[in-house]
Amino acid sequence: MRNLFTLLLLCPLLSACLGTVDVGPGLDKISRGFSESMRWNDYKNAAGYVHPDARDAFREQFTEDKDLHVVDSRILSIDMFQDEGRANAVYVMEYYRLPSSRIKKWRWEQQWRLIQEKLTKPGVWLIENEPPGLPWKQ
């Protein structure tokens, strides 16, 4: 009886310690960070939001290009599949590339995945798929 009483007292304490798994910052915050990096031509920082398997392709697309000027950068929509730890997002960048001053749009349908290496550490959202070809590099 004494063991049962002790167990009943400890159960709430143990469950509070276990709690929910910390998944880190939400995708809305992470995707805004990616979008801001792109807006300010900080492609090195933006590459950090891309999964290592697709990072080289991203860097290849966005190398130092003094003729590229980003006018707007935003995530249009995000479809979450929280139970699967993934999401689909539509990213749009408006830009012009010298010598032209005509503003064009580039669209990337991104596949984000929550990568969690350890249950005790927060997960991180990364873009899994490579960007489509930029018009001037095709």
7-60 pLDDT tens trace: 455 545 444 444 443 344 588 899 999 999 999 999 999 999 999 999 999 998
> Quick check: 64 pLDDT over 90?
no
Architecture of domain 24-132: Roll (3.10)
For the cut 70, the answer to whether the pLDDT of residue 127 exceeds it is: yes
Question: What is the reported pTM?
Answer: 0.76
Separation of alpha carbons 107 and 46, rounded Å: 16
- CA gap 125, 49 in Å, rounded: 7
- Domain locations along the chain: 24-132
